[in-house]
Amino acid sequence: MNNEELQSLQGVKVLVGVAGSIAATKTPMLVSNLIKAGAEVRCVVTKSASMLVSPIALSTLSRNRCFQDEDQWDPKESKPLHISLSEWAEIIVIAPLSATSLSKWVNGSAEGLLASILLASEKPIIAAAAMNTGMWQNSSVIKNWKSLDDYPKVLKLNPSSGILACDRIGEGRMASVEIIQLAIKSALITKNANLLIKKDLLGKNVLITAGATIEYLDPARQISNRSSGRMGISIAQAARFRGAKVDLIHGALNIQEPLLEGLNTFNVSNADQMQVSLRERQVSADLIVMTAAVSDLRKKRGASKNKLSKAELIASLPEELEIVPDLLKEVTSRKETNQLILGFAALTGQDEHIKALGEEKRVNKGCDLLMANPIDRPNEGFGENNNGGYLLGPNNMSIKLEVQSKFELAHKLIDHLLAFKSKNS
């Protein structure tokens, strides 16, 4: 997902707060990317953060002055700086959020400019925590971080695992720049008139399949398709941002690796492996979304151990090929009463043909809803940043979803799924 897919942030006013964590060295890249996406950016650094990242660099990258604690009280200004910055911003991003700044925030301390802004703000806030693993696992930090669950305007980004600046391996790394950008977009999409961020999937388990499966013919050849997995990943991250625990079973993907952060991922290669993984995880799911493009054909007795000549390949295929299991149909056959299942169908042709064929597939496969999306049109479908089509359901339900970014479409689909579940529960 590039900046275009993340959607232009043209004119969006983003206040970036930088606390004292070594992860502050990554913040300039975030600021640079936000500027490239068209956002207006202002930065605030704590005293400790200014020792890790240059305020001058942030000023240069943001094209605006970078504010520090000593700027908070200026007799020349008619309004306190923490108030004016809070009012100016449409969204606030704290990247990184340190243990110290987190503690000040949840305990109501206004010591310092950033701390004052967090208390004064009435805008959506993205909180990207980053610290040493030992600090992150400290009971006080755990308690403080959990406290943010009660803040309806805050979207929390847990740190990821990896090697830290102290050479320790564990949780503590700040969420990637790509994930922070996506979280910003998510907050802007889901905020309501009162600037509350949707958390309507809290406590829900979402199971998603994505990407392309591969069926090998021999060590050199395979049957697959052009699916990039972007639609499934977009739905997975949108659901995660809205509070869900997400299990993602995926085949081959063509996306940026950081966009899998925060998801429970299960990498599979072929239809059999995806089938096994689905059987293991379906029982705990509240919502199941089947976006994976499963290969239709495979060799009956598996791939040849040796590479076949062209003549051998052509001669063997008519007798050797078979249809792979219908994974969506199998999942619907095991559906629990509390589960809602959304299938996807990649189709071609005119709209009326797509709707008719999509509805036929929905009924045949037994899913509650089916997203019928065309793949033969410019700038949508397989491998593209955008998607659209028709969301089909019982009682002649047909909702046209205009072509839009896959991430925006992901949120629209979740909205429709929750509305459908509420209406039919």
Q: Is residue 307 part of a domain?
A: yes
The reply to whether 5 falls in a domain is no
Distance of CA 99 to the CA centre of its chain: 25
Amino acid at site 153: K
Residue 310 CB burial class (10 angstroms; 0-12, 13-18, ≥19): exposed
29 and 82 both lie in a single domain: yes
Pick the closest to residue 211 from 76, 63, 327 (CA basis): 327
pLDDT higher than 80, residue 2: no
- Are 150 and 212 found together in one domain? no
3-state SS assignment for residue 108? coil
If asked whether residues 179 and 220 sit together in one domain, one would say: no
Owning domain of residue 409? 205-424
Amino acid 47 reads K
Averaged pLDDT, 274-288: 97
Q: Check if 166 is active-site.
A: yes
Q: Tell me: do 212 and 184 sit in the same domain.
A: no
Residue 175 is part of a domain; what is its CATH number?
3.40.50.1950
Same domain for 287 and 148, yes or no, is: no
Return d(Cα 325, Cα 38) in angstroms, integer.
46
Pairing between β-strand 397-405 and β-strand 125-129 as defined by DSSP bridges: unpaired
For 184, the token pair is 């910003």
For residues 151, 156, 158, 164, the Cα torsion angle rounded to the nearest 10 degrees is -100
- In 3D space, the residue among 407, 422, 421 whose CA is nearest the CA of residue 231 turns out to be 407
- Check whether residue 345 and residue 217 sit in a common domain: yes
Do both 245 and 361 map to the same domain? yes
Instruction: Find the largest Cα–Cα distance for the chain.
Output: 87
**Where among 190, 216, 240 does a domain terminate?**
190
Structure tokens, 133: 């693993």
**355 compared with 161, residue with greater pLDDT:** 355
Q: Percentage of the chain with pLDDT > 90?
A: 76
Q: Which of 83-97, 156-170, 184-198 is modeled with the greatest confidence? A: 83-97
Q: Supply the pTM of this predicted model.
A: 0.93
Residues 297-344 pLDDT 10s: 888 888 888 888 888 888 878 788 889 999 999 999 999 999 999 999
Gap between the Cα atoms of 183 and 411, Å rounded: 12
Contact (Cβ atoms closer than 8 angstroms) between residue 39 and residue 114: no
pLDDT of residue 418: 96
Please indicate, yes or no, whether residues 104 and 253 belong to a single structural domain of this protein. no
- Asked whether residue 3 carries a pLDDT value surpassing 70, the answer given is no
How far, in Å, CA of 308 to CA of 316, rounded? 9
pLDDT at 64 over 60: yes
Minimal CA–CA distance to 264: which of 246, 289, 238?
246
**Domain final residue, candidates 155, 190, 225:** 190
CA 4 → CA 56, 125, 385, 404, 417, distances in Å?
28, 23, 8, 11, 26
Report how far residue 183's alpha carbon sits from residue 237's, in angstroms, rounded to the nearest whole number.
9
Rounded CA-CA distance 203/206 in Å is 10
Residues 256 and 167 in one domain: no
Tokens linked to 331: 């999942």
Count of the separate structural domains present in the chain:
2
Backbone angles phi, psi at 147, to 5 degrees: -60, -30
Write the CATH number for 261.
3.40.50.10300
DSSP readout, 37-54? Answer: TT-EEEEEE-TTGGGTS-
For 221-260, what is each residue's pLDDT tens digit? 888 888 899 999 999 999 999 999 999 999 999 988 899 9
pLDDT digits (tens, 9 = 90+) for 104-119: 999 999 999 999 999 9
Tokens linked to 241? 């941002």
- Tell me the average pLDDT of the chain: 92
Q: Do 152 and 289 lie in a common domain?
A: no
Residue with the two structure tokens 């049957």:
223
Question: Tokens in use for 423?
Answer: 């209406």
